[in-house]
Amino acid sequence: MATTTQGIVCIKCKKTKRIVTCKGCSKDFCADHLNEHHNELSEQLGKTEDQFNEFKIQIEGQKAELQQHELMKQIDQWEHESIEKIRQVANEKGDRLTEDEFEKLRYLLDTVDEKVDVKKLTKTIGETKTNCRQKISKEKNEQKRGRFLLFIYHKNFFLDDFERRLSRLDSSKSNDNNAVHIIIDPSSKKLSIDPKTRSLQMKGAFFCEYFDSPVDALYFSIGYSFDIKKDAPIWITVEPMISRYHADLSFKNMDIRILLFEKRPHSTERRLLHMSSERSGYKSYLHLNALAKGSYEVIPVTFGGVLRARSKEVNERAPIKRLRENRKGNNFVMSKDYRDALEYVFDLFDFDDNKQLDRNEYNLWTIRTTEEEITDEDWSSIRQHVGLDVDENVSKEKFLKLNDLEVQDPYTSEQELWNGLKSLGFNYALELDMMCVFNLTVHINQPDLHLKPTSYVELAEIKTVLMNFLENKGQKIKLNNSSVQCFNYKDDCGSILLAENKSASNVRLSIQVKDSKNVALNLPIDAHKPHVINVRHDSTQVIWFAHQLESQRKMELDASFQVK
């Protein structure tokens, strides 16, 4: 993740760069301390493994004539401790474990050569007593002597009905189904802008990325600042753009909202004033009859209805294209495919379309590809190696030359070159499947308006502010569970459903989409498999972002969910 985060800091080092929120504990960590947090959770699992091994040794040392009540007392104690610890670790890690942790569990299960889902673990722990009692009774009846083999680690025992046991452990009794029926009527609005206003256009892009799983995709946009010197009407439009690097036209109909924030003096906090709710064709727009003078930031956002993370299988495929070629003398040269892609990247980050990258534009490209900002020393080095053009800017020719120096470096690997392109949304076929370009246009009757791209903004940064904004404007949906409330916000663009958990404990919402028409949903649409969302106590969670694909057709969404 690459962002100059404002307002959210790492709980460990208080830095604001590359902040990720742990879904288990809801704490914020930078990339370095996220790994440390991950290791702490892994150590907890390791301690559980050690306790298991110690107990296993004790059991194997017991003789069959050991009194039954003494053995069952140990089984009861180990069962209670193990269930609680493994459940806690699984919850904190969001039910996902690393491959190393899977190997540990496979070792515990004596199934190193077989694939075992970690979620099957709880079923065995939960039914240990019953099976052990059956084993003891069987051996007593048959009057067998010898070592008593506890069935906790028997592999066949672990491969049965785990999901039922997990549901009993982590959930209270389910309520009746709560039905939700959403309808968005067709709209054929036409955008009408005062021809006397001055328009200023900037390019930008939505980026999608993930670390371990596509389910945990992060969405980034770019914030733009501007000042208003006197009260005036304003129109802000955002239109997605398709390039030859997009495999199809699906991004043409992106789910886009325009957020307008007020920038407070001497503060990094943002105050959300308005969110766009109207569309005209493929354009999303925000119209205000009068915007008071002051400093503002406009942030286009997308919620993942159309721009989705590529699958892990596609992400890990071998490259189809080559980025550099080996010529005589072991000299590397840039391939034509790579040069063409870099020319497109230059045009993208040339936000004001003046055929040059100023330091701010070049810095945003560097943050995205290397996760580092340009320092004064870096800028001096660029000036020394390739020179800078008028006004200390980088031309396309100089931009390609800088990248060509990296290609020629024998210590730069092909994969390192690919990492830069993948951070921009390219896959190994040089297709843009995790990035969508847009044009942002501001119309206002102010001759000296300046629109400046400032920083990357991750959706998670502003989600809390956005949810508070939507909750106040959404329609309350009555549920069978009084401790959980739902709010549905709908407009010409679609529906946003929120769930607020007012209880003292966490709840799990099981959402099942029964039917959908003319909708792109950020949740999996599967009528046979419910989607589960964890909502922590005293918190509000987004259930879905539903986007009306074609504005001139009615959108319908039927779903039911249970509160557990």
Task: Tell me what pLDDT residue 114 has.
Answer: 46
Residues 440 and 471 in one domain: no
- Domain CATH code at residue 398: 1.10.238
357 strand-pairing partners = 394
Residues 472 and 529 in one domain: yes
Q: Please indicate, yes or no, if residue 472 is contained in any of the structural domains.
A: yes
Task: Tell me what pLDDT residue 126 has.
Answer: 42
Q: Please indicate, yes or no, if residue 495 is contained in any of the structural domains.
A: yes
Task: Tell me what pLDDT residue 391 has.
Answer: 85
Q: What is the dihedral of CA 229, 234, 236, 237, to 10 degrees?
A: -140
- Taking the C-alpha atoms of residue 255 and residue 240, their distance in angstroms, rounded to an integer, is 10
Q: Please indicate, yes or no, if residue 355 is contained in any of the structural domains.
A: yes
* Cα end-to-end span (Å), the chain: 33
- Domain CATH code at residue 300: 2.60.120.380
- Domain CATH code at residue 533: 2.60.40
Residues 230 and 350 in one domain: no
Residues 301 and 323 in one domain: no
10-residue mean pLDDT series, the chain (564 residues): 51 74 74 76 71 67 54 65 61 50 53 45 44 51 41 37 41 58 86 91 94 84 95 96 93 94 83 93 94 95 92 83 82 94 97 94 95 91 86 93 92 92 94 96 91 92 88 84 88 91 88 89 73 87 90 90 82
Q: Please indicate, yes or no, if residue 2 is contained in any of the structural domains.
A: no
Residues 165 and 292 in one domain: no
- Taking the C-alpha atoms of residue 541 and residue 175, their distance in angstroms, rounded to an integer, is 19
Task: Tell me what pLDDT residue 158 has.
Answer: 39
Q: What is the dihedral of CA 6, 9, 15, 19, to 10 degrees?
A: -80
Range of the domain at 378: 318-360+367-415
Q: Please indicate, yes or no, if residue 525 is contained in any of the structural domains.
A: yes
Sign for the CA dihedral angle at 495, 474, 444, 449 comes to negative
Residues 490 and 410 in one domain: no
Classify burial at 443, counting beta carbons within 10 Å of its beta carbon; exposed 0-12, middle 13-18, buried 19 or more. buried
Residues 24 and 144 in one domain: yes
Residues 214 and 285 in one domain: yes
Residues 153 and 35 in one domain: yes
Residues 304 and 449 in one domain: yes
Q: Please indicate, yes or no, if residue 202 is contained in any of the structural domains.
A: yes
Task: Tell me what pLDDT residue 6 has.
Answer: 46
Total count of domains within the chain: 4
- Taking the C-alpha atoms of residue 462 and residue 458, their distance in angstroms, rounded to an integer, is 7
Q: Which pair of structure tokens corresponds to residue 435?
A: 């990035």
Q: Please indicate, yes or no, if residue 425 is contained in any of the structural domains.
A: no
- In the sheet where 531-535 sits, what is the strand order? 178-184, 555-563, 507-517, 531-535
Q: Please indicate, yes or no, if residue 398 is contained in any of the structural domains.
A: yes
Residues 78, 81, 87: CA angle, nearest 5 degrees = 125
Residues 268 and 299 in one domain: yes
Residues 304 and 378 in one domain: no
- Taking the C-alpha atoms of residue 519 and residue 549, their distance in angstroms, rounded to an integer, is 5
Q: Are 29 and 20 in contact (CB under 8 A)?
A: yes
